[in-house]
Structure 1
Amino acid sequence: MNNKNELIGRVKEIHRFPVKSILGESLSEVSIDNRGLCGDRLWAIKNSNGKFGSGKTTRRFQKIDGLFNYRARYEDNTLIITMPDGSDYRGDNNAVNEVLTDWLGFQVTLAQEESISHFDEGPISIITTSSLRMLSQELGEPVDPRRFRANFLIDTESTGYLEEYWVDRLIKIGPTVALRVVAPLQRCVMVNNAQEELKQDVRVLRNLVNNHNATFGVWAKVERNGEVNVGDDIILQ
Structure 2
Amino acid sequence: MLRLSTLYRFPLKSAIGESLPQAQLDALGMQGDRRWMLVDAANGRFLTQRALPHMTQLSARWNAAGGLTLNAAGFPSLEVPLPGADATLRGAFIWSDSMYVPDAGDEAADWLSRFIGKPCRLVQVPAERARWVEGSLNANEKVGFADGFPLLLIGQASLDDLSARVGRPLEMLRFRPNLVIEGSEPYAEDSWKRIRIGSVEFRVAKGCSRCIMPTLDPLTGERSADREPLTTLKTYREREGEVYFGQNLINEGEGELKVGMAVEVLE
User: What TM-score range do you get, normalising by the shorter chain?
Assistant: 0.7 to 0.9
1:118 shift after superposition: 1.5
1:73 aligned to 2:61?
yes
Unaligned runs of 5+ in 1: 1-6, 57-62
Asked if the contact 1:80/1:90 (under 8 Å) is kept, the reply is yes
**Aligned position for 1:64:** 52
Give the aligned partner of residue 220 of structure 1.
Answer: 249
How far 1:197 sits from its partner (Å)?
5.0
Q: 2:262 aligns with which of 228, 233, 237?
A: 233
Distance in 2, matches of 1:66 and 1:144, equals 17
- Aligned residue for 1:130, secondary structure, equals helix
Tell me, yes or no, if the aligned pair for 2:53 and 2:216 is still in contact at 8 Å.
Answer: no
- String of CA shifts for 1:118-175, please: whole Å, max 9, x gaps: 221211000111101110121112221111110011111x322111111xx211112x
Matched, 1:127 2:135: no
When normalised by structure 1's length, the TM-score is 0.87
Distance change in 2, residues 1:65/1:200 (3 Å): closer
Equivalent of residue 121 in structure 2, options 109, 117, 126: 109
- Counterpart Cα distance in 2 of 1:47 and 1:230: 36
The CA RMSD over aligned residues, in Å, is 1.7
Which has the higher relative contact order, 1 or 2, with Cα contacts under 8 A spaced 6 or more apart? 1
How many residues are matched?
220
Residue identity matched to 1:127: I
Q: How does 1:146-185 map to 2 (within 5 A)?
A: 146-156=173-183, 158-166=184-192, 169-174=193-198, 176-185=199-208
Query: Given the alignment of the two structures, is residue 54 of structure 1 paired with residue 48 of structure 2, yes or no?
Result: yes
2:24 to 18, 24, 31: 31
1:81 touches 1:89 (CA, 8 Å); kept in 2?
Answer: yes
Task: Output the TM-score relative to the length of structure 2.
Answer: 0.77
How far 1:84 moved relative to its partner? Answer: 3.0
Unaligned runs of 5+ in 2: 82-104, 132-143
Between the aligned residues of both structures, percent identity stands at: 28
Give secondary structure in 1 for the equivalent of 2:218: coil
What residue identity is the alignment partner of 1:101? S
Which deviations, in whole Å up to 9, do the C-alpha atoms of 1:60-117 show, x marking residues without a partner? xxx3341111011123222111123363211227422111111222111110124434
2:211 aligns with one of 182, 188, 211: 188
